[in-house]
Structure formats: C-alpha cells, structure tokens
Structure 1
Amino acid sequence: MLTAIKSDGTWITLPEKIPANLLAEWRKSTDYYCPCCKMEMSIKAGNVRVPHFAHKNNSSCRASSEPESAYHLMGKRKLFQWFSSHGYQVDLEAYLPEIKKRADILATIGGNRYAIEFQCSVIPEIEFIERTRAYQSVGIIPIWVLAAKHLKRKSVYEFSLSGFQWLFVTGSCHHPFLWMYCPETNHLSVLKNLTPFTPRTVFAELTTASLTLLPPSRALPQNCFHFPFLPAWRNKRKDWTLHRVKTARRSDPFFEGLYLHHITPAAIPIEVGVPVRGMLLIETSPIEWQAWFYMDVFQEKKPGEKISMADIIHFFKKRSKKGEIKFRPLPLLHEKPVEYPLGQYIKLLEKLGYISKEEEGVFKVEKAFSIPFTSDHGQMMEKNFYDKHKLMMEKGNIQYNRG
C-alpha cells in the first residue's frame, strides 16, 4: 500500500523515493495505521524495494490479501498522477467502507465515480466478479486495467487471452475492448476489434499511446471502421480443419457428433466457422457451435422445408446445458443475450441466400451448405465462397460503439 493514516488522523502517501535520513525520521515520528482494517503498519523501503506500507502482523485485511509487486505499486501511482495532472478529482487507494473495498484509484469525472483497478496478478474469477458487482452496487463504474506485460502476442493481429484476461473486456458487444498499461514505458494500450477464433485465440488490433501525450478524455478507443482479419481467419480455419482432429480427445462429444453425422473435420461445410458480430459471448469455437447448428437443424433439411427460430434456440440451449456449447463470462460488458451471436449467424445465412424469412421466427431453406469432397475441392470452394462474400462479411463484422 502507498497510503496510510497517521496517529493524528491525517493521511500520508509515500513518495517514489525517500532519502535515508527522512525515512528514519518518518519511522520514529509517528505510528501508521491501515485505512481499511485500522491495524498498525510499518514503512518498507530499501535500495530495491519501492517505498510502501505493510501490516506489522499477519492480517486478514482484504487490502493486503494480494502481495503488491513493485510493478503494481509503480503502475497505480503513475495512473493516479495521470488523472490528477489533468485536474480530475482523484484519490489513491481509496477505501469504501460501504462495500469494504479499497480501489487502487477512485476518480470523479463528469459527475460519475470510477474505480480504476490496475491488476497485475491473477485472482479467482468469482472475486473479480464480486468486486465488480460491489462497485456497481454503490454507483461506481469499475475500470479494470490489465498489466501489459502479461499480453501474449502471436502475430500482428493474433493474440492469446486466458480466461482471466477475457474478464477485462469492456465496452459493448458491438465495440468490445480491454485496457492494458505498462508503468515501465508509461504506455496505455487498448486491444480492440476482438474477434475470437477459439477460447484463447483472438484476432484484434493493438493501439498504444504514451500517457504524457494522452489526456484521459481521449483514452476511449475509436470505432473500428474496417475488419482486417479475414485472410488470417481463413488460414486459421484451414489449419483447424486439417489439424484439429490430431489433438481431439477420443471422447470429445463434438467429434463424436461429426462422426455420427458422417462429417470429417476436413469436410466441414464452407459456411461453418465464419466470423459474426457478438461471438465473443460464446467461449466455444465458432467452427464448433456453428457446426452444431448445422448438424442439429440444417443438415437434414431440403430446399423448400422450414426451420423455426424456436427450434434453433431449443437445440442451442440443449447443447449448452450438456456443456457442448459454453459461454464466456464477461462481467464488464453491456448485457446481450447469449443467443445474440446465433441470431447474427442466422441473419448472415439469410443475406447469403441460404434461408429466407417466411414469417416472424420462421425461415425457408433455399439451398444446401457446400460440402467439399476432397481437400483440393474444399480449397476451391472456400476461395469461391470468400471471394464472393468478402465485402459482406467484412462489413458485417465492423465494430462500432453502439449499445
């Protein structure tokens, strides 16, 4: 911790560096107490350690349950200075007695209160959600900022996000993003245009700016007016159809489903595994949940036959109840029903001419999906499909800031 209460009731915030003579004087001049649990604290500092307060005795204080690294201490101090240097009302390590939580930074902007949490260590999902809900219960908007050093980048547009990192996604289904910060470079980064391919693999755009050049009022990421991931998506999909079976478990229900429906991974219909808006709500790979739709609803239908949205949702929920389609917990994202990406997929199929709307909630099958017979045939079909529908799919996946 960087703040404490002195014996006379006044607050003290430790500076980044303390001369040895001043440190000795501060240690002798008064006692220091935790703002949260009121237990006695001492100043920890040295040649390596960042000056900070620590409880003298083992404490169950929530504020001290997470060991704070020098990286974390430096980060929240710099973020605090960033807000205060632009004239915002801001408190460092503000304790909120009504919810018994301590925010790294509490800022008041435009009449709203924001709790900024700079998170450098992994905490349980349930704790992340509980802290988020606690802030929201008292009208405080939580902003979780991920330590930038933990981001795993595979290529220009490809990243790997753990389940814990996905919790940081904020914004909306139409414009999701997550904040990251590195105190060592003093750079704030945004990962936006999030387009997940598997539970961990995501295509996204990374933008970075120095806090010295970026005022908080301009930190919100701009809308995405293009969708540059389609070539990489196609390559990833091709690799999946050729190699995913090699790592599949023998008892994997998805591959059992393919077998029972006489489909090999290499012969999955070209229309299965396409990007659609809002699919980050579903943790299961889009190839898999769209294939379940095909096997459950579409495969046995002939042109002219009807499909109801009620049946589509019924099978979708049945698969999710069995754990074959899983949803991604996104506590910071504006609410959308988990069926939303499924609805977007249905709309795409309608635009592509595979189904047509007969009446509200009822569709007529217009043509069958494209089933490749050989690998070469599949590559040719895939190329023709994306060449024909490239602009439509890119336009359909452009993300913008709408509820």
Structure 2
Amino acid sequence: MLTAIKKDGTWITLPEKIPANKIDEWRRSADYYCPCCKMEMTIKAGNVRIPHFAHKNSSSCRASSEPESAYHLKGKRKLFQWLLSHGYQVDLEAYLPEIKKRADILVRIGGNRYAIEFQCSVIPEVEFIERTRAYQSIGIKPIWILAAKRLKRKSLYEFSLTRFQWLFITGSFHHPFLWMYCPETDHLSVLKNLTPFTPRTVFAELTTASLKFLPPSRALPQNCFGFPFLSAWRYKRNGWSLHRVKTARRCDPFFEELYSHHITPATLPIEVGLPVRGMLLIDTASIEWQAWLYMDVFQEKRTGEKISMADIICIFRKHSKKGEIKFRPLPLLHEKPIEYPVGQYIMLLEQLGYLSKLEEGVFKVEREFSLAFTSDQAQILEKNFYDKHKLMMEKGNIQYNQ
C-alpha cells in the first residue's frame, strides 16, 4: 500500500523515493494505520522494493486481496499522477466502507465515479466477478487494467488470452477491447476489436500511447467498422481444418459426431467457421459450435425447405447442456443472452444468400452449404466463397456494425 492514516486521522502517501538515511526518520515520526482494517502498519523500503506500507503483524485485512509487487505499486502511482495532472478529482487507494473494498484508484469524471484496478497477478475468477459486482452495486463503474507484461503476442494480429485475461474485456459486443499498462515504459495500450478463434487464440489490433502525450479524454479507443483480420482468419481456419484432428482427445464427442456424418475437419463446409458479432460470448471455437448446428440442422435441409429459429436455439441449448458448447464470463460487458451469437450467425447466412426470412423466426433455405468430398475440393470451394464475399466480409461491417 502507498497510503495510510496517522493517529490523528490525517492521510499520508509515501513518496516514490525515500533516501536510505531518512527511512528510520519517517518510521519514528508517526504511527501509521491501515485505512481499511485500522491495524498498525510499518514502512518498508530497500534497494529493490519501492517505499510502501505493510501490516506490522500477520493481517487478514479484507481490503488487501493479494501481495503487491513493485511493478504494481509503481503502476498505480503513475496512473494516479496521470489523472491528477489533468485536473481530475482522484484518490489513491480509496477505501469504500459500504463494500469493504479498497480501489487502487478512485476518480470522478463528470457525474460518474470509476474504480480503476491495475491487476498484475492472477486472482480467482469468482473474486474478480465479486469485486466488479460490488463496485457496480454502489454506482461505481469498474475499470480493470491488465499488466502489459502479461500479454502474449503470436503475430501482428494474433494474441493468446487466458480465461482470466478474458475477464478484462470491456466496451461492447460490437466494439470489445482490453486495457493494458506498463509502468516501466509508461505506455497505456488497448487491444481492440477482439475476435476469438479458439478459447485462447484471438485476433485483435494493438495500439499503444505514452501517458505523457495522452490525455485521459482521448484514451478511449476509436470504433472499428470493418473486419481487418479476414486473411488471418482464413489462414487460421485452413490450419484448423488440416491439423485440429491431431490434438483431438480420444472419444471426443465432436469428432465422433463428425465421422458419424461422414465429414472430416478438412471437408467441413466453408460456411462453417465464420466470424460473427457476439461470438466472444462462446468459449468454444466458432468452427466447432457452428459445425454442431450444421450437422443437426443444415446438413439435411434442401433448397426450399423451412428452418425454425426456435429449433436452432433448442439444438444449441442441448449441446451447451451437454458441455459440448461452452461459454466465457464477461462481467464488464452488458449481459446478452447466450443465444445472441447464434442469431448473428443466422443473420449472416441470410445476408450471404443462404436463407431468406419468411416470417419472424422462420427461414427458407435458398442455397445449400457446400460440402466437399476431398481436402483439395474444399480449398477450391473456400477460394470461390471468399472471392465472392470478401468485400462484404471486410467492408460490410458484419463484425462490428452498430
């Protein structure tokens, strides 16, 4: 902790550096207490650790959820100073007695209060969600910022996110993004337009700016109204088709179902595994949950036959109950029904000319999916599909339109 209270109730914030010959003088000058649990604290400092307060005795202080690294202490101090330098009403390590929580930073912007949490360590998912809900229950909007050093980048547009890191996603289902900060470089970063391919692999754009030149009012990322990852998506999908079976578990129900329908991963229709809005709700890879719908709904349908949205949703729920389609919690986004991505997938098929709406919730098959018999034929169908629909997929705002 960087803040404490003295016996007379006044608050004190430690400076970033204390000369070695002054540390004992600071310690003797007053008694310090935790603003949260009121237990006595001491100043710790050294050649490695920056000056900070710590409980004198073993403490079960409810407001201190995990040990703080020098990286974390430095980060929240710099974020605090950044907001303070731009004239905002801001408190460092503000204790909120209504919920018995201590926010790294509490800032008032306009008529809203925001609790900023700079998270450098992994905490239990249930704790992340509980803390988020606690802030929201007293009208405070939580902003979770991930330590930038935690991000794993695989290529220009490809990143790997753990289940814990997915909890940080904010913005909206049309424009999702993730905040990151590095106190060592003093750079605030945004991973935006997140488009998941598998539970951990995600396509996104990374933008970075120095806090020195970035006013808080300009920190929110601009919305994207296109889909910039189509080439990367196609490459990844082709790789999945050719190699996914190598990592399949024995008796995997998904692959058992594929083979019972006389389909291999390499010959799945190209219409299976398309990026759609809201699919970040689903932890299961899009090519897999869309394949379940294909096998149970679309494969047996012929041109002119009807398809009911209610039947599609029923099948989707059946597979989710069996654990074959899984979901990811997104506590910082407004809640959407788990069927939302399915509706977006059906809407996309309608836009592409495969379905036409007869009435609300009822569609007619206008064109059947293109089932290949060999992997070579699948590659030809893939090229033809994207030659025809590439412009629409990239510029038609399928992914992020409002």
Structure-1-length-normalised TM-score: 0.98
2:239 alignment partner in structure 1: 239
- What amino acid maps onto 1:128 in structure 2? F
- What amino acid maps onto 1:309 in structure 2? M
2:31 alignment partner in structure 1: 31
1:82 alignment partner in structure 2: 82
- Does the CA-based 8 Å contact 1:160-1:202 persist in structure 2? yes
- Does the CA-based 8 Å contact 1:224-1:398 persist in structure 2? no
1:159 alignment partner in structure 2: 159
CA distance in 2, matches of 1:204, 1:30: 50
CA distance in 1, matches of 2:200, 2:21: 51
Matched, 1:148 2:148: yes
Matched, 1:14 2:6: no
- Does the CA-based 8 Å contact 2:152-2:161 persist in structure 1? yes
- What amino acid maps onto 1:211 in structure 2? L
Written as runs of structure 1 = structure 2, the 5 A alignment for 1:129-140 is 129-140=129-140
1:220 alignment partner in structure 2: 220
Structure 1: where are the runs of 5+ without partners? none
1:266 alignment partner in structure 2: 266
1:358 alignment partner in structure 2: 358
Deviation at 1:391, TM superposition (A): 1.5
- Does the CA-based 8 Å contact 2:348-2:398 persist in structure 1? no
1:47 alignment partner in structure 2: 47
CA distance in 2, matches of 1:28, 1:396: 63
- Does the CA-based 8 Å contact 1:281-1:341 persist in structure 2? yes
Matched, 1:197 2:197: yes
1:306 alignment partner in structure 2: 306
- What amino acid maps onto 1:55 in structure 2? H
Identity of aligned residues (%): 83
CA distance in 1, matches of 2:96, 2:3: 14
Matched, 1:173 2:173: yes
- What amino acid maps onto 1:399 in structure 2? Y
CA distance in 1, matches of 2:133, 2:296: 37
Deviation at 1:251, TM superposition (A): 1.9
Written as runs of structure 1 = structure 2, the 5 A alignment for 1:66-81 is 66-81=66-81
Matched, 1:319 2:323: no
Structure 2: where are the runs of 5+ without partners? none
Moved more, 196-205 or 369-378: 369-378
Deviation at 1:221, TM superposition (A): 0.4
Matched, 1:397 2:382: no
- Number of residue-to-residue matches in the alignment: 401
2:95 alignment partner in structure 1: 95
Deviation at 1:335, TM superposition (A): 2.1
Deviation at 1:140, TM superposition (A): 0.2
- Does the CA-based 8 Å contact 1:147-1:181 persist in structure 2? yes
1:339 alignment partner in structure 2: 339
CA distance in 1, matches of 2:375, 2:343: 30
CA distance in 2, matches of 1:333, 1:397: 20
- Does the CA-based 8 Å contact 1:268-1:372 persist in structure 2? yes
CA distance in 1, matches of 2:212, 2:91: 20
SS at 1:331's partner residue? coil
- What amino acid maps onto 1:308 in structure 2? S
RMSD: 1.0
- What amino acid maps onto 2:397 in structure 1? G
Deviation at 1:366, TM superposition (A): 1.6
1:283 alignment partner in structure 2: 283
SS at 2:129's partner residue? helix
- What amino acid maps onto 2:71 in structure 1? Y
SS at 2:63's partner residue? helix
> Structure 1, residues 330-349: CA drift from partner, whole Å, max 9, x if none?
00012222211111110111
Tell me: CA distance 1:206–1:344, structure 2 relative to 1, closer, same or farther (3 Å): same
SS at 2:123's partner residue? coil
- Does the CA-based 8 Å contact 2:283-2:326 persist in structure 1? yes
- Does the CA-based 8 Å contact 1:276-1:396 persist in structure 2? no
SS at 1:118's partner residue? strand
> Structure 1, residues 67-105: CA drift from partner, whole Å, max 9, x if none?
100000000000000000000000000000000000000
CA distance in 2, matches of 1:286, 1:335: 20
Deviation at 1:398, TM superposition (A): 4.5
- What amino acid maps onto 2:58 in structure 1? N
CA distance in 2, matches of 1:377, 1:20: 73
CA distance in 2, matches of 1:397, 1:107: 36
